[in-house]
Structure 1
Amino acid sequence: MNEQIKKKIKKLLALSKSPNENEAMAALEKARKLMEENGLSDLDCDIYTEETKCLKSRPLWQQIIGSGVAWINGTVVRIISDDGSPVVRFHGSETDVFISKEMYQYLVKTVDRMAKQNIRKNAKKPYRDSYKEGMATSLYVRMLEAGALYSWANRRESQLAVIDKYVVELYKEGYETVDHTSATKKRNNAAFYRGANDGESVNLNRQTTGGKHEYLRIKAAVSL
């Protein structure tokens, strides 16, 4: 594929965000026409990255949430430690990675908050971690079920294949999945299933209002 064409499309997509409505519409129309003529999609021309912090210990429960959030939104996730401080990075279209980051932060904070509320303060770390893993696993399963109902679900695999190819080149590695079903030696089953049960009550859709947040909320709603 001619890289010059991709560069031209990228420039047009950048212009499509212009505050001048006429200029933006004209640029978007030209970009769409070029993509159609050359068999390209948004992802072929521009893949974005959003990142957020992760605990240094890279807890399994955060990895499980990141995996579910990435899948439901059609993005690819990586936990990277470039400078010793782990960050969670989502790769995909601009809108999808924005939604992934927002959803990930919301769910991580929710699990953390509920663990503090529902577990006694003197509980040992394995018990607390097992509770969070249970909640995360419950949320993961619910995201898989909800994501299968999206109107664009039949295009998810092809979309992920494009992003995955980009990520493999970016990090020079293969795609790794999180084994969220494997039991750990320190897992407390009672705490895990208690967390899984509490995870059923968490609203997957964070309520956002105004500007881009409102647009994303509406976009998510019409995707069902």
Structure 2
Amino acid sequence: MDVKLIEKIKKLLALSESSNENEAKVAMLKAQELLVKHKLSIKEVKEYKINNTSIKEKVSNISFRQGKWKAKLGDIIAENFGCYQYFRRGTSRTIAFFGKEEDILVCNIVLEYAVDCILSAVKKMRYQYYKDGYSTKGLESDYALGFINGLEKMFEEQKNKNQEWGLVLVKDAEVVEAYNNINFKGSIDTNTTFQGYSEAYYQGKEDGEKFSISDKITEGETGEQLTLSASN
């Protein structure tokens, strides 16, 4: 049995329990499509080789010095997938997720894809601003803040429409206990202020409200393969 295929389906099944109703439906449909295509059952996938119920830490590839918006983005994602976020110190701050293995994997995928989407959009906007002779200092931060607020709004709307999805967001008692037993040293100021790029902010907000991750997970079926190590 193809391990990468199993991992891909597992990620989709994890997303199918998301508080975002539309995301959950899309993820489940894509998971079912792969199950039928490869003649597998959900039971086979869930029982295959890997047990994702253990509590772990997943250190992401996302780090920051000045881009504190990445920390705010990670926090929103962690809260909406039943996990905690904290930082690993070094020359920069690296985002890490803590929770059930299947949940931290999803958090990591969502964070890395969201950051990629934000940076790609900002790159295009920055080019246009340069072309028109405008400064771009603070542009990235303002677009990102808009994106984060849009993403948060999307999660809240889905929870309001479907109260039962709120249960998915409740952190597992074992996760809470394990997190509370971690001895953290110090804290990091992640406050980010608006720099005045209203157009960038509102474009980011619109993009955040429409953000979807399910297509990224299944991208490898037709194009680039998404890879994610289950351990870090």
| TM-score of the alignment, normalized to the shorter chain, above 0.5 | yes
Please report the RMSD computed on the Cα atoms of aligned residues, expressed in angstroms.
Answer: 3.6
Q: Structure 1 residues 90 and 177, CA, compared in 2 at 3 Å: closer, same or farther?
A: farther
* Pair member with larger Rg: 1
Q: Distance in 1 between matches of 2:163 and 2:112?
A: 22
Equivalent of 1:154 in 147, 150, 167: 167
| Deviation at residue 57 of structure 1 after TM alignment | 1.6
Gaps of at least 5 residues in structure 1 are 1-20, 29-41, 215-224
| Deviation at residue 80 of structure 1 after TM alignment | 2.3
Identity of aligned residues (%): 18
In structure 2, give the amino acid aligned to 1:72.
N
Contact persistence 1:64–1:137 (CA under 8 A) = no
Normalised by the length of structure 2, the TM-score is 0.58
| Deviation at residue 198 of structure 1 after TM alignment | 3.1
**Does 2:176 match 1:164?**
yes
Equivalent of 2:62 in 9, 29, 54: 54
Q: Distance in 1 between matches of 2:171 and 2:186?
A: 17
Match of 2:136 in 1: 124
Match of 1:84 in 2: 91
Superimposed CA distance per residue, residues 15-47 of structure 1 (whole angstroms, 9 cap, x where no aligned partner): xxxxxx9xx79xx8xxxxxxxxxxxxx5xxx31
Match of 2:19 in 1: none
Match of 1:36 in 2: none
Match of 1:64 in 2: 72
Three-state SS of the structure 1 residue aligned to 2:211 is: coil
Superimposed CA distance per residue, residues 91-131 of structure 1 (whole angstroms, 9 cap, x where no aligned partner): 11111111111111111101111111234252422123211
Moved more, 123-132 or 89-98: 123-132
Three-state SS of the structure 2 residue aligned to 1:171 is: coil
In structure 1, give the amino acid aligned to 2:203.
R
Q: Distance in 1 between matches of 2:145 and 2:194?
A: 13
**Does 2:222 match 1:203?**
no
Equivalent of 2:197 in 188, 195, 202: 188
| Deviation at residue 168 of structure 1 after TM alignment | 2.9
**Does 2:118 match 1:111?**
yes
Three-state SS of the structure 1 residue aligned to 2:82 is: coil
Match of 2:8 in 1: none
Equivalent of 1:139 in 131, 151, 167: 151
Q: Distance in 2 between matches of 1:150 and 1:53?
A: 33
Q: Distance in 2 between matches of 1:184 and 1:65?
A: 14
Normalised by the length of structure 1, the TM-score is 0.60
